[in-house]
Protein backbone atom coordinates (compact mmCIF):
# COMPACT_ATOMS: atom_id res chain seq x y z
CA UNK A 1 0.00 0.00 0.00
CA UNK A 2 1.56 3.35 -1.01
CA UNK A 3 1.63 6.18 1.51
CA UNK A 4 1.63 9.55 -0.26
CA UNK A 5 1.95 12.95 1.44
CA UNK A 6 0.00 15.35 -0.76
CA UNK A 7 1.23 18.57 0.87
CA UNK A 8 4.95 19.06 1.59
CA UNK A 9 6.94 22.31 1.53
CA UNK A 10 10.68 22.67 0.94
CA UNK A 11 12.73 25.72 1.93
CA UNK A 12 12.75 28.42 4.60
CA UNK A 13 9.71 30.45 5.59
CA UNK A 14 9.32 34.22 5.54
CA UNK A 15 5.97 34.39 7.36
CA UNK A 16 6.66 35.55 10.95
CA UNK A 17 4.30 32.97 12.44
CA UNK A 18 6.70 30.21 11.42
CA UNK A 19 9.79 31.65 13.15
CA UNK A 20 12.11 31.11 10.20
CA UNK A 21 11.31 27.39 10.02
CA UNK A 22 13.44 25.81 7.29
CA UNK A 23 14.03 22.37 5.82
CA UNK A 24 16.05 21.69 2.68
CA UNK A 25 15.19 19.02 0.15
CA UNK A 26 17.58 16.37 1.44
CA UNK A 27 16.31 16.74 5.02
CA UNK A 28 12.71 16.75 3.80
CA UNK A 29 13.10 13.50 1.87
CA UNK A 30 14.97 11.88 4.75
CA UNK A 31 12.16 12.80 7.14
CA UNK A 32 9.50 11.46 4.80
CA UNK A 33 11.40 8.22 4.29
CA UNK A 34 11.90 7.76 8.03
CA UNK A 35 8.16 8.31 8.53
CA UNK A 36 7.29 5.57 6.05
CA UNK A 37 6.11 7.98 3.35
CA UNK A 38 6.57 6.46 -0.10
CA UNK A 39 6.08 9.60 -2.18
CA UNK A 40 5.07 13.23 -1.94
CA UNK A 41 3.76 16.33 -3.68
CA UNK A 42 6.48 18.95 -3.14
CA UNK A 43 6.11 22.71 -3.29
CA UNK A 44 8.31 25.59 -2.11
CA UNK A 45 7.80 27.70 1.00
CA UNK A 46 6.35 31.21 0.78
CA UNK A 47 9.62 32.34 -0.82
CA UNK A 48 8.21 30.73 -3.99
CA UNK A 49 11.58 29.37 -5.12
CA UNK A 50 10.01 27.22 -7.78
CA UNK A 51 12.91 26.82 -10.20
CA UNK A 52 15.40 25.87 -7.49
CA UNK A 53 13.05 23.25 -6.07
CA UNK A 54 12.41 21.66 -9.46
CA UNK A 55 16.13 21.47 -10.19
CA UNK A 56 16.75 19.86 -6.81
CA UNK A 57 13.96 17.34 -7.32
CA UNK A 58 15.40 16.33 -10.69
CA UNK A 59 18.80 15.79 -9.10
CA UNK A 60 17.25 13.63 -6.41
CA UNK A 61 15.39 11.50 -8.95
CA UNK A 62 18.50 11.20 -11.13
CA UNK A 63 20.49 10.27 -8.03
CA UNK A 64 18.25 7.32 -7.33
CA UNK A 65 15.56 8.55 -4.92
CA UNK A 66 13.12 5.67 -5.10
CA UNK A 67 9.76 7.24 -4.28
CA UNK A 68 7.46 9.11 -6.65
CA UNK A 69 7.62 12.91 -6.42
CA UNK A 70 5.20 15.42 -7.90
CA UNK A 71 6.05 19.11 -8.40
CA UNK A 72 3.63 21.92 -7.44
CA UNK A 73 5.06 25.41 -8.06
CA UNK A 74 3.68 28.14 -5.78
CA UNK A 75 1.95 30.70 -8.00
CA UNK A 76 0.75 34.16 -6.94
CA UNK A 77 -1.63 36.56 -8.72
CA UNK A 78 0.35 38.49 -11.31
CA UNK A 79 3.18 35.94 -11.57
CA UNK A 80 4.63 35.25 -15.00
CA UNK A 81 3.15 31.91 -16.05
CA UNK A 82 5.78 31.23 -18.70
CA UNK A 83 7.67 29.03 -16.23
CA UNK A 84 4.67 26.73 -15.83
CA UNK A 85 4.24 26.42 -19.59
CA UNK A 86 7.94 25.81 -20.16
CA UNK A 87 8.09 23.10 -17.48
CA UNK A 88 4.68 21.56 -18.24
CA UNK A 89 6.09 18.03 -18.49
CA UNK A 90 7.35 18.29 -14.90
CA UNK A 91 4.42 20.15 -13.31
CA UNK A 92 1.62 18.15 -11.69
CA UNK A 93 -0.27 21.03 -10.15
CA UNK A 94 -0.22 24.58 -8.85
CA UNK A 95 -0.09 25.71 -5.22
CA UNK A 96 -2.21 28.82 -4.53
CA UNK A 97 -2.33 30.67 -1.21
CA UNK A 98 -5.14 33.23 -1.26
CA UNK A 99 -4.69 34.02 2.45
CA UNK A 100 -1.10 35.23 2.05
CA UNK A 101 -1.94 36.95 -1.22
CA UNK A 102 -4.93 38.63 0.51
CA UNK A 103 -6.98 37.88 -2.60
CA UNK A 104 -9.94 35.51 -2.83
CA UNK A 105 -9.34 32.58 -5.12
CA UNK A 106 -12.52 33.63 -6.94
CA UNK A 107 -11.02 37.08 -7.68
CA UNK A 108 -10.37 37.98 -11.32
CA UNK A 109 -6.62 38.15 -10.65
CA UNK A 110 -6.61 34.37 -10.27
CA UNK A 111 -8.45 33.81 -13.56
CA UNK A 112 -5.32 33.47 -15.77
CA UNK A 113 -3.85 30.95 -13.33
CA UNK A 114 -7.00 28.84 -13.11
CA UNK A 115 -7.52 28.99 -16.87
CA UNK A 116 -3.96 27.79 -17.41
CA UNK A 117 -4.50 24.94 -14.96
CA UNK A 118 -7.63 23.92 -16.85
CA UNK A 119 -5.87 24.18 -20.21
CA UNK A 120 -2.94 22.04 -19.09
CA UNK A 121 -4.93 19.62 -16.95
CA UNK A 122 -3.17 20.56 -13.70
CA UNK A 123 -4.30 19.86 -10.15
CA UNK A 124 -4.86 23.08 -8.17
CA UNK A 125 -4.02 22.95 -4.46
CA UNK A 126 -5.63 25.93 -2.73
CA UNK A 127 -4.65 26.83 0.82
CA UNK A 128 -7.50 27.47 3.18
CA UNK A 129 -7.61 28.22 6.86
CA UNK A 130 -10.03 30.16 9.00
CA UNK A 131 -10.96 32.73 6.38
CA UNK A 132 -13.81 30.85 4.72
CA UNK A 133 -14.36 33.58 2.16
CA UNK A 134 -11.06 32.56 0.53
CA UNK A 135 -11.09 28.88 1.40
CA UNK A 136 -10.24 26.01 -0.88
CA UNK A 137 -8.61 22.55 -1.14
CA UNK A 138 -5.92 22.27 1.52
CA UNK A 139 -6.48 21.78 5.26
CA UNK A 140 -9.77 19.92 4.74
CA UNK A 141 -11.45 23.03 3.37
CA UNK A 142 -10.78 24.94 6.60
CA UNK A 143 -8.84 23.96 9.70
CA UNK A 144 -11.76 24.17 12.14
CA UNK A 145 -14.70 21.71 12.32
CA UNK A 146 -17.33 24.21 11.08
CA UNK A 147 -15.21 25.20 8.08
CA UNK A 148 -14.22 21.63 7.17
CA UNK A 149 -17.74 20.24 7.49
CA UNK A 150 -19.17 23.27 5.71
CA UNK A 151 -16.80 22.77 2.78
CA UNK A 152 -17.77 19.11 2.48
CA UNK A 153 -21.45 20.01 2.65
CA UNK A 154 -20.97 22.59 -0.08
CA UNK A 155 -19.29 20.04 -2.34
CA UNK A 156 -22.12 17.58 -1.76
CA UNK A 157 -24.95 20.07 -2.23
CA UNK A 158 -23.44 21.53 -5.40
CA UNK A 159 -22.62 18.13 -6.84
CA UNK A 160 -18.98 19.05 -7.44
CA UNK A 161 -17.02 16.14 -8.85
CA UNK A 162 -13.55 17.70 -9.19
CA UNK A 163 -12.87 18.70 -5.56
CA UNK A 164 -10.67 16.76 -3.14
CA UNK A 165 -9.45 17.61 0.36
CA UNK A 166 -6.25 16.97 2.25
CA UNK A 167 -6.50 17.61 5.96
CA UNK A 168 -3.19 18.89 7.31
CA UNK A 169 -3.78 21.45 10.05
CA UNK A 170 -7.08 19.89 11.09
CA UNK A 171 -6.74 18.63 14.66
CA UNK A 172 -10.14 16.97 14.93
CA UNK A 173 -9.64 13.65 13.14
CA UNK A 174 -13.28 12.75 13.70
CA UNK A 175 -14.28 15.52 11.30
CA UNK A 176 -12.59 13.55 8.52
CA UNK A 177 -14.60 10.47 9.57
CA UNK A 178 -17.76 12.58 9.44
CA UNK A 179 -16.93 14.00 6.00
CA UNK A 180 -15.91 10.64 4.56
CA UNK A 181 -19.35 9.37 5.54
CA UNK A 182 -20.80 12.31 3.57
CA UNK A 183 -18.57 12.39 0.48
CA UNK A 184 -16.80 9.03 0.46
CA UNK A 185 -13.14 8.25 1.07
CA UNK A 186 -12.31 8.95 -2.57
CA UNK A 187 -12.35 12.70 -1.85
CA UNK A 188 -9.66 12.70 0.87
CA UNK A 189 -5.86 12.72 0.69
CA UNK A 190 -3.19 12.44 3.35
CA UNK A 191 -1.23 15.67 3.77
CA UNK A 192 1.10 17.02 6.45
CA UNK A 193 2.18 20.57 5.47
CA UNK A 194 5.71 19.50 6.47
CA UNK A 195 7.93 21.06 7.80
CA UNK A 196 5.22 22.98 9.65
CA UNK A 197 3.85 19.67 10.94
CA UNK A 198 5.19 16.13 10.91
CA UNK A 199 3.74 13.50 8.53
CA UNK A 200 3.52 10.93 11.33
CA UNK A 201 0.87 13.10 12.99
CA UNK A 202 -1.46 12.54 10.05
CA UNK A 203 -0.51 8.98 9.21
CA UNK A 204 -1.29 8.13 12.84
CA UNK A 205 -4.59 9.99 12.66
CA UNK A 206 -5.68 8.04 9.56
CA UNK A 207 -4.67 4.75 11.14
CA UNK A 208 -6.75 5.66 14.19
CA UNK A 209 -9.87 6.70 12.30
CA UNK A 210 -12.96 4.52 12.29
CA UNK A 211 -12.67 3.61 8.61
CA UNK A 212 -12.68 0.45 6.58
CA UNK A 213 -9.26 -0.80 5.52
CA UNK A 214 -10.18 -0.03 1.93
CA UNK A 215 -10.99 3.59 2.81
CA UNK A 216 -7.80 3.86 4.85
CA UNK A 217 -5.69 2.69 1.88
CA UNK A 218 -7.37 5.16 -0.42
CA UNK A 219 -6.75 8.11 1.90
CA UNK A 220 -3.18 7.14 2.73
CA UNK A 221 -2.08 7.03 -0.86
CA UNK A 222 -4.22 5.44 -3.52
CA UNK A 223 -6.29 8.58 -4.12
CA UNK A 224 -3.21 10.76 -4.50
CA UNK A 225 -1.60 8.35 -6.94
CA UNK A 226 -4.70 8.32 -9.10
CA UNK A 227 -5.16 12.11 -8.96
CA UNK A 228 -1.54 13.12 -9.54
CA UNK A 229 -0.73 10.64 -12.29
CA UNK A 230 2.80 10.28 -13.65
CA UNK A 231 5.44 11.44 -11.15
CA UNK A 232 8.53 13.50 -11.93
CA UNK A 233 11.20 11.77 -14.01
CA UNK A 234 14.86 12.76 -14.27
- Position 59 scores a pLDDT of 96
Extended beta strands in the chain, E state? 4-12, 22-23, 39-44, 69-71, 93-96, 123-126, 165-166, 188-189
d(CA 181, CA 176): 8
Q: Which residues pair with 95 in a beta bridge?
A: 74, 125
Q: Which CATH architecture has domain 4-228?
A: Alpha-Beta Barrel (3.20)
pTM of the model: 0.93
- Extents of the domains making up the chain: 4-228
Going by C-alpha positions, the residue among 136, 100, 130 that lies closest to residue 14 is 100
Helix (H) or strand (E) holding 148: helix 145-158
User: pLDDT in tens for each of the 234 residues of the chain?
Assistant: 799 999 999 999 999 999 999 999 999 999 999 999 999 999 999 999 999 999 999 999 999 898 999 999 999 999 999 999 999 999 999 999 988 888 888 899 999 999 999 999 999 999 875 554 444 455 667 777 888 898 899 999 999 999 999 999 888 999 999 999 999 999 999 999 999 999 999 999 999 999 999 999 999 999 999 999 999 986
Going by C-alpha positions, the residue among 99, 37, 46 that lies closest to residue 70 is 37
Q: Which residues pair with 185 in a beta bridge?
A: none
- Position 4 scores a pLDDT of 98
Amino acid sequence: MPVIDAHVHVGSWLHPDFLGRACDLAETLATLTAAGIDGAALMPSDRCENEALLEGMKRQVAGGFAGPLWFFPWIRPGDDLAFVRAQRADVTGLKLHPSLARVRVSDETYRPILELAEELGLVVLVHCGRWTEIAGFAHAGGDTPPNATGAAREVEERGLTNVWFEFSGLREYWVVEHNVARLGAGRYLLGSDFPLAHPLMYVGAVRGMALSEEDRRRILGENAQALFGRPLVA
